[in-house]
Structure formats: structure tokens, C-alpha cells
């Protein structure tokens, strides 16, 4: 990967984009070559996964049907994930699937189809796989059981609307990186702001600015304070001080910081009076008047693993300075994940900095690339998904619960809801065997349905559990438009390669299936892919024209390859306006103010999420049989599980196995040396990984990033060993609380030991066994 002059597309290269960066690509001597966007100051190396991935053996070349499903027909089957596959021709497989879709629709209706299809798929906005599935099901079925929220921010996206107002306002229209570089004195980053996370943005990103902004802020004298168990969660450029607390104790630390501020009279009483509601109720809890326990530094010290003096000193250091509090998505992907999201805003309110340039609270700043930037002044092209008239949904991370417990009641956001009885699951553009927790439980859940359909470009474990596997094109094999709402570049994603084998675009597959459901015209609106791109582009062009700006035709945009978009001013968004006049510009909360105490949440009567932020001790804590915290975080060398077989991802592994990191003292106590293969295990499962020793990992913690493809040593077993290093065989499938039911995959507890047995081979990227289907003529 070489860096190019600004905005140039090298001779013979075609423009394209990915969630991890805008780039261009060409074939040179039979090999795909990629170059990052010339205007990108800090390109993301993940684009280097493409060259090896594009023609890799892990790609799916033909439609495949699971033998058991083909021979015995639809129905619950624990052979999923264990069976072999039968190759079929496109027409035959679409006939078969069309008939099954009609059977389920006629017999069970839209409420028996789960079409949530969560997943990031690829950057292009037209071939966005989730939108394609939803659109198809909305026309073919009139709807489907959907999923709400995300694995990224399941807890935050539910609590923020109750307590601070709009989730988008909190994350996307708030403090920017430019403001930090210019104004901030202290960035107090709970969970850090790891560049591997901010270098990714759904829809694409043309300029990775975070490293440079931290460098500028630091050079001006800004202090970065990293609270968390991994030193690598802020880059070297930030020159951060590392406050290594015990995982999932941040709420206790925030309470103690706030307690010191109040006890010392350093809190901003005028701000709290004018801009918040419920502070007096919370203050009684904080100071111990409500329950007899002051949440002071002495109380927090043993919980957090920090000294009481250090906590007090930290609080005093914050008072009176331009402080920005941030909380990584990771913190709320854990038991009671709502609490640090809420409490961090209360701490920022006590400091009185909310709404000032570079100050206050910016939840998830640094956790993903579209936060901390200016928004575009024109709308992005987006595909309409149609209308889901069925209306039922689950919180996204409750999928296994739903499949295993049809008819069971559960609580979500103040409601009592009932799990539907799902017969057919349709997935495109996601990998539940990457994103979900307790994968052995997920296998049992997928064994319950009649039919599991998956569109995939490669043989992920999800594809290996499907009944019908339809080969999808990779982004480089089709045309699209790349953009996100906070990146100033619209990208004409040109086709760079022919489809692999018989792979087809998700759109074309759904168009042909719609034919079998009698909904083709509604689904396609009579447009080819190129016509759709021109159609979707028109909304952006019209808005440019209405603002009197140059508005090139689609053909001109396509020919140029890129187009710069105008952006809105960096004006602090609704937070600045609220600070300036809270009556004229109230927050969209019930009170119009920051809710330190929420009557709405208190009214839900959930012990797992009371009416103000509180310290709720987690259940999953280190104990004899699982004495280490496992941090299962986002990977640096791929996006989630995507292209795990690409060169950049493979290069980060140790002899093919994923690499975990732990403190040398924890390793020595277990006779483990650098580079050894270890077994991580707990009551739910076990996996192998190689080990790297690092004093940048807090003692008592082991870190294993997500995204290594699940690779069971013996798929016939109920809880097989994953030989490759997928931590989701170990994580817990429980919701954050009864309020949000978010994913808690970031943290669990494990034991580890040196693996001394014969090393099992890694077969994650080998296609499953297959036979050719020879249709037999009817007698």
C-alpha cells in the first residue's frame, strides 16, 4: 500500500470504497493492487486484505444446499453445522427456495420469518445487504420479524433517549476532533479511543483524522487520560496517562470522582440547577444519605483496583478545566452497560462543561469514524426498504433466546414482550457466528428452525450452518455508491473484478426470487443496478442544486469517480444551543433537560436499571474456576470477521491462530511463555489461541480480539473446542439489563492454560465437503 497525492486516482486504477477507507484498485500482472485515497492522511491497512481475499478458496463459487435439508425437507435439525453440501444450479435452487418461502408465508405468515439480518456487509449504499433483505421481505411477505438497535451500542441507544435526548445528537452532532485539538484541556477517555475503531465508518471514510487531531491537541498541552485495562486503547501520539482500572468498574470510578467534586464543593451547582433534573435525588444516593454508603473514593478503591488518593487527585485535577468525558462503545457492551453511559454524562454535568467548545460529554467519540466530525449538508443516497407491516421485533442480541423460547415473555424498555415462533431465518451481509455470544448456544438455537437461508461471499460459520447458501458477489465485483453522513466524499464505486465463480449480486438474487413470489416489479421498480445508482444519486444532486452549488449529472459524477460534498459548520450542534438557551432549545427528553434522575426509567421498576445511575455489582466476576477477565474487543487487522482470510489479517496471526495478550506475571504463574498456544476455557466453551506477553495489559486480564472464524475441532460434539481463537465461544448470551437487552460480549471471565496436546489443524477457510446435485426427472 503506497500513499498517493491528494485526490488522485492513479492511471488505470478504478475508484472504490470500503467501511475502512476509500481506495482505488487495478489488476497488475494478474494480481489485484490497491492504493488508499490520496487525500487520506492516515490510511487504514485493512484494505490490504482485498488482494488475497478476492480469489481465495474460502469464497463460495456455486449455490449450495445442505444435504439433510434437501433430502428430508425443512424442519428442526441438529445436523446444521455438521452436514455436507450439494451444489445446485441457480434456477433450481431459486425454485426450491421460492417454494419454501411460499410454504412458510402461506402456512405461518410474516410473523414466522426472522429477517433482522444484522450485519455490516459492504460500504456501497445500494447493495447494502440488510436493506436488500428487508426490501425483499417487505414486498414478498408484507413484513417480517425485525431486530432493533445494534451489537455496537445496544445499551446506549436505549438509555440515551431517556436521559440525554437524541442518540444521533449525542454521537454525531457534538464535540469534533477539531474542537479537541483547539480547546480541550483534559480528555477523560473511559475505555480509550483506539484508532482501530475510529478508522472504520459504515459507508466509507476518506480521511482518517483522529491520530492527527490527538497529536495537535497533545502538542497544545491537552492531557489524555485513558481509563481501562488495555494501554493500547489510545495511540502513542496522545501521550496518555494510563489509569488501569478493573474491567467493568468505571461506573464506580465515575461516582467516586463526582463524590469528591461534591464533597470539595467543586461541582458546578449553577449548571446542575439550570440544565438538569433530578440531581437532589441522585445526590442523596451519591453522598450515602439514601442507603448509608457514601460513593466516595475509599468505597471505590477496592472495586476499581485504584487507590483512593489517586481517585481524589484525579477529581481535583478535572475541576475548573475544559474537560471532555468520552465513553467507548465497549463499556456498554457489558453487564449493566447502561450505567457508565448515563453516569459519564452526570459527571460531565457536575463539571459544568457540557455545550462548551471541546468540553462536556461525547459518548462513543473515537469508537467509530463518523463521530467527532462535521455532518454533510446534503442527504446521502439510500435505498428505501419499503414498509414492514408486520411490526414485531426483538432487541438484536436476543436472537438465540428468541429461537430457543418461542412464546416466552421478556422485558424491554418498559414493555413486556413475547418471543415469536420463527420457522425461517433469512440472512445476508452479517455473520452471527462472529457477532453473537455463546456460540454453542447459538448452534442449538439455529437447530430449531425449519430453514436457514444465507447469502455470503465466503464460507463463514454462518454459511456452514445454513440450509440454502447463495454465493454473493464481493464489493469489488459490482458497481455502487459509497458515502456516509459525516464524510465529505461521495465515491463512484466502479467494478474492479468479474464475479467469483457463479456469485451474483444480492439485488439480482432477490429480483429473481421476487419473480417467484410475484413481487418482481415492486421490488425492482423496473430498474437495472446502474439505473438504481442514478436514481439514488438524484436526491443528493437535487439538494446540491437547490443550494445553488455545482450539481454534476450522474454520468459526470461516475466518470470523475469522486465528488466533494458540502458540510455543515462545526457549531457544537444541539448541545451548544441548549447551553445558550435551555428554554428555547430544550433537549428531546421528557423534561427537556439532562435527566440525572429519570421518572420514566424509575417507573419501569427494573432492579437492573433504576431511576438514576448507580453502581450495580456485576454477576460475572473472577472466581476460582474463571479467575481472569477476558476482554473480547474489536480486531485491528480486519473489520469484525470480514476477510479474515485476507493477507493483512493472516499476517497478524501466529502460525494461523489468533493471538491473545496477557500480562507476563499472569502468564508466568501458569507456566505460559510468549508464543505458546493456550487454551482459554469456562463453563460455556473453550478455544485455542497463541499468546503474546505484554505489560500493556492489566494483571488479571486477558485480551482476545473478535473476528477469527469459528473453527470447531470436532463439529459433532455439543461444545467443541474452537481451534482458531473465536472468543464468542466463551462470552455470555445475556442482556445488559431488562431496560435495553443489549449485547454483553465485550467481557467475561475465563481460565487459561498452556495447551500441550497435539495441535489441531485450522480448517476455518477450507470449503465444506460438497457433492453435485443431479436432478432426477419425475417419473
- Binding residues (CB under 6 A) for ligand PGD: these are 119-122, 127, 129, 151-152, 333, 428-431, 434-435, 455-458, 460, 472, 506, 632-634, 639-642, 706, 727-728, 731, 745-746
CB of 80 to ligand PGD, least distance (A): 17
Q: Is 118 a catalytic residue?
A: yes
C-alpha to C-alpha distance for 337 and 15, rounded to whole angstroms: 40
CB of 73 to ligand PGD, least distance (A): 25
Q: Is 452 exposed, middle or buried (0-12, 13-18, 19+ CB in 10 A)?
A: buried
Residues 6+ apart with CB under 8 A from 777: none
How many other CB atoms are there within 10 angstroms of residue 602's CB atom? 15
Complex with ligand PGD: residue 200 or 256, whichever CB lies closer? 200
**Where on the phi/psi map is residue 121: left (φ > 0), alpha (ψ -120 to 50), or beta?**
left
C-alpha to C-alpha distance for 165 and 577, rounded to whole angstroms: 14
With CA atoms as reference, report the closest residue to 474 among 452, 489, 492, 495. 495
CB of 721 to ligand PGD, least distance (A): 18
Q: In this structure, what DSSP letter does residue 592 have?
A: S
Q: Which residues pair with 34 in a beta bridge?
A: 25
Complex with ligand PGD: residue 62 or 127, whichever CB lies closer? 127
Q: In this structure, what DSSP letter does residue 70 have?
A: H
Complex with ligand PGD: residue 90 or 599, whichever CB lies closer? 90
CB of 598 to ligand PGD, least distance (A): 26
Q: Which of 69, 85, 118, 419 is catalytic?
A: 118
CB of 457 to ligand PGD, least distance (A): 5
Complex with ligand PGD: residue 267 or 464, whichever CB lies closer? 464
Q: Taking a C-beta distance cutoff of 8 angstroms, is the pair 722, 712 a contact?
A: yes
Q: Taking a C-beta distance cutoff of 8 angstroms, is the pair 233, 193 a contact?
A: yes
CB of 50 to ligand PGD, least distance (A): 12
- The C-alpha cell that represents 354 in the structure block: 457540557
C-alpha to C-alpha distance for 604 and 609, rounded to whole angstroms: 9
CB of 529 to ligand PGD, least distance (A): 13
Residue 409: CA atoms inside 13 Å, Cβ hemisphere, count? 4
Complex with ligand PGD: residue 439 or 609, whichever CB lies closer? 439
CB of 707 to ligand PGD, least distance (A): 7
- The C-alpha cell that represents 447 in the structure block: 437447530
Q: Taking a C-beta distance cutoff of 8 angstroms, is the pair 756, 677 a contact?
A: no
Unique residue bearing C-alpha cell 476460582: 624
C-alpha to C-alpha distance for 338 and 346, rounded to whole angstroms: 13
Q: Is 445 exposed, middle or buried (0-12, 13-18, 19+ CB in 10 A)?
A: buried
CB of 582 to ligand PGD, least distance (A): 33
- The C-alpha cell that represents 51 in the structure block: 488482494
C-alpha to C-alpha distance for 528 and 503, rounded to whole angstroms: 17
DSSP H helices in 324-471: 329-332, 338-351, 399-404, 432-435, 439-446, 461-464
Complex with ligand PGD: residue 459 or 575, whichever CB lies closer? 459
Helices 250-263 and 279-286 pack at an angle, to 10 degrees, of: 100
CB of 717 to ligand PGD, least distance (A): 22
Complex with ligand PGD: residue 503 or 601, whichever CB lies closer? 503
Q: Taking a C-beta distance cutoff of 8 angstroms, is the pair 706, 333 a contact?
A: no
C-alpha to C-alpha distance for 192 and 363, rounded to whole angstroms: 12
Q: Angle at Cα 444 formed by Cα 439 and Cα 450, nearest 5°?
A: 125
C-alpha to C-alpha distance for 307 and 311, rounded to whole angstroms: 6
- Write down how long the chain is: 779
- Which of helix, strand or coil describes residue 650? helix
Q: In this structure, what DSSP letter does residue 221 have?
A: T
Complex with ligand PGD: residue 456 or 487, whichever CB lies closer? 456
- The C-alpha cell that represents 204 in the structure block: 466509507
Complex with ligand PGD: residue 138 or 633, whichever CB lies closer? 633
Q: Taking a C-beta distance cutoff of 8 angstroms, is the pair 446, 114 a contact?
A: no
Q: Which of 20, 69, 85, 120 is catalytic?
A: 120
Look at strands 14-18 and 21-28 and give their pairing: antiparallel
Q: Which residues of 111-145 are buried (b: 16+ CB within 10 A; e: fewer)?
A: bbbbbbbbbbbbbbbbbbbbbbbbbbbbbbbbbbb
Q: Taking a C-beta distance cutoff of 8 angstroms, is the pair 177, 424 a contact?
A: no
CB of 518 to ligand PGD, least distance (A): 24
Q: Taking a C-beta distance cutoff of 8 angstroms, is the pair 199, 37 a contact?
A: no
How many other CB atoms are there within 10 angstroms of residue 582's CB atom? 17
C-alpha to C-alpha distance for 226 and 244, rounded to whole angstroms: 8
Complex with ligand PGD: residue 460 or 540, whichever CB lies closer? 460
Complex with ligand PGD: residue 596 or 730, whichever CB lies closer? 730
Complex with ligand PGD: residue 482 or 573, whichever CB lies closer? 482
C-alpha to C-alpha distance for 414 and 435, rounded to whole angstroms: 26
C-alpha to C-alpha distance for 554 and 541, rounded to whole angstroms: 8
Complex with ligand PGD: residue 649 or 731, whichever CB lies closer? 731
CB of 630 to ligand PGD, least distance (A): 9
CB of 500 to ligand PGD, least distance (A): 12
Residues identified as active-site: 118, 120
Amino acid at each position: 500500500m503506497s500513499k498517493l497525492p491528494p485526490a488522485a486516482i492513479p492511471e488505470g486504477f478504478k475508484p472504490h470504497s470500503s467501511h475502512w477507507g476509500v481506495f482505488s484498485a487495478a489488476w497488475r500482472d494478474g494480481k489485484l493492487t490497491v492504493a488508499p485515497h490520496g487525500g487520506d492522511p492516515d490510511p487504514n491497512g485493512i484494505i490490504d486484505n482485498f488482494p488475497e481475499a478476492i480469489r481465495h478458496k474460502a469464497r463460495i463459487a456455486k449455490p449450495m444446499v445442505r444435504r439433510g435439508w434437501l433430502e428430508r425437507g425443512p424442519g428442526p435439525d441438529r445436523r446444521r453445522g455438521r452436514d455436507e453440501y450439494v451444489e445446485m444450479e441457480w434456477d433450481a435452487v431459486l425454485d426450491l427456495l421460492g417454494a419454501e418461502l411460499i410454504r412458510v408465508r402461506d402456512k405461518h405468515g410474516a410473523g414466522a420469518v426472522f429477517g433482522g439480518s444484522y450485519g455490516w456487509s459492504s460500504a456501497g449504499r445500494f447493495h447494502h445487504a440488510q436493506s436488500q433483505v428487508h426490501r425483499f421481505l417487505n414486498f414478498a411477505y408484507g413484513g417480517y420479524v425485525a431486530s432493533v438497535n445494534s451489537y455496537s451500542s445496544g445499551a446506549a441507544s436505549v438509555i440515551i433517549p431517556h436521559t440525554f435526548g437524541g442518540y444521533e445528537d449525542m454521537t454525531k452532532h457534538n464535540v469534533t476532533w477539531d474542537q479537541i485539538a483547539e480547546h480541550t484541556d483534559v480528555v477523560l477517555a473511559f475505555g480509550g479511543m483506539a484508532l482501530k475503531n475510529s478508522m472504520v465508518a459504515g459507508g466509507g471514510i476518506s480521511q482518517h483524522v483522529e491520530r492527527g487531531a490527538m497529536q495537535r491537541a497533545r502538542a497544545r498541552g491537552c492531557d489524555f487520560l485513558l481509563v481501562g485495562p488495555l494501554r493500547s486503547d489510545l495511540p502513542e501520539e496522545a501521550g496518555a496517562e494510563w489509569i488501569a482500572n478493573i474491567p467493568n468498574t468505571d461506573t464506580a470510578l465515575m461516582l467516586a470522582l463526582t463524590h469528591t467534586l461534591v464533597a470539595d464543593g467543586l461541582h458546578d451547582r449553577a449548571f446542575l440547577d439550570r440544565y438538569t433534573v433530578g440531581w437532589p435525588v441522585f445526590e442523596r444516593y451519591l453522598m450515602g444519605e439514601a442507603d448509608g454508603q457514601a460513593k466516595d473514593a475509599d468505597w471505590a478503591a477496592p472495586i476499581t483496583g485504584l487507590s483512593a488518593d489517586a481517585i481524589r487527585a484525579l477529581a481535583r485535577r478535572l475541576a475548573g478545566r475544559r474537560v471532555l468525558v468520552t465513553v467507548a462503545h465497549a463499556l456498554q457492551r457489558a453487564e449493566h452497560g447502561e450505567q457508565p453511559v448515563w453516569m459519564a454524562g452526570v459527571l460531565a454535568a457536575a463539571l459544568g462543561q457540557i455545550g462548551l467548545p471541546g468540553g462536556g460529554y461525547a459518548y462513543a467519540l473515537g469508537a467509530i469514524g463518523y463521530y467527532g466530525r462535521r455532518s454533510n449538508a446534503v442527504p446521502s443516497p439510500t435505498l428505501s426498504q419499503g414498509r414492514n407491516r408486520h411490526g414485531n421485533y426483538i432487541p438484536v442480541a436476543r436472537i438465540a433466546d428468541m429461537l430457543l423460547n418461542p412464546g416466552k415473555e421478556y422485558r424491554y424498555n418498559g414493555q413486556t414482550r413475547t418471543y415469536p415462533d420463527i420457522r425461517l431465518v433469512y440472512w445476508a451481509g452479517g455473520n452471527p457466528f462472529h457477532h453473537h455470544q455463546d456460540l454453542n448456544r447459538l448452534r442449538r438455537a439455529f437447530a430449531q428452525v425449519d430453514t436457514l437461508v444465507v447469502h455470503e461471499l465466503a464460507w463463514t460459520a454462518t454459511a456452514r450452518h445454513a440450509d440454502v447458501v447463495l454465493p454473493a458477489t464481493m464489493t469489488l465485483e459490482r458497481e455502487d455508491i459509497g458515502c456516509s453522513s459525516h464524510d465529505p466524499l461521495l465515491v463512484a464505486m466502479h467494478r474492479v473484478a468479474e464475479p467469483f465463480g457463479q456469485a451474483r449480486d444480492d439485488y439480482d438474487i432477490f429480483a429473481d426470487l421476487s419473480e417467484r413470489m410475484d413481487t418482481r416489479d415492486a421490488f425492482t421498480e423496473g430498474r437495472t443496478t446502474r439505473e438504481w445508482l442514478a436514481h439514488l444519486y438524484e436526491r443528493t444532486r437535487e439538494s446540491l442544486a437547490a443550494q445553488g452549488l455545482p450539481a454534476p449529472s450522474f454520468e459526470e459524477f461516475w466518470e470523475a469517480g469522486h465528488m466533494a460534498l458540502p458540510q455543515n459548520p462545526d457549531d457544537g450542534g444541539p448541545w451548544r444551543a441548549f447551553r445558550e438557551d435551555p428554554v428555547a432549545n430544550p433537549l428531546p427528553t421528557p423534561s427537556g433537560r439532562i435527566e440525572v434522575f429519570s421518572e420514566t426509567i424509575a417507573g419501569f421498576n427494573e432492579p437492573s436499571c433504576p431511576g438514576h445511575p448507580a453502581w450495580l455489582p456485576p454477576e460475572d466476576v473472577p472466581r476460582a474456576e474463571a479467575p481472569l477477565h477476558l476482554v473480547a474487543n474489536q480486531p485491528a487487522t480486519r473489520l469484525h470477521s470480514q476477510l479474515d482470510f485476507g493477507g493483512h489479517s493472516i499476517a497478524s496471526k501466529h502460525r494461523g491462530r489468533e493471538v491473545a495478550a496477557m500480562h507476563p506475571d499472569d502468564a508466568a504463574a501458569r507456566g505460559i511463555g510468549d508464543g505458546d498456544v493456550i487454551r482459554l476455557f469456562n463453563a460455556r466453551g473453550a478455544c485455542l489461541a497463541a499468546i503474546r506477553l505484554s505489560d500493556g495489559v492489566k494483571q488479571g486480564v486477558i485480551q482476545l480480539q473478535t473476528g477469527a472464524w469459528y473453527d470447531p475441532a470436532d463439529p459433532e460434539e455439543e461444545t467443541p473446542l474452537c481451534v482458531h481463537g473465536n472468543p464468542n465461544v466463551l462470552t455470555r448470551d445475556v442482556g445488559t439489563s431488562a431496560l435495553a437487552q443489549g449485547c454483553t460480549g465485550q467481557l467475561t471471565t475465563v481460565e487459561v492454560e498452556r495447551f500441550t496436546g497435539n495441535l489441531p489443524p485450522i480448517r476455518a477457510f477450507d470449503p465444506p465437503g460438497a457433492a453435485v446435485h443431479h436432478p432426477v426427472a419425475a417419473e
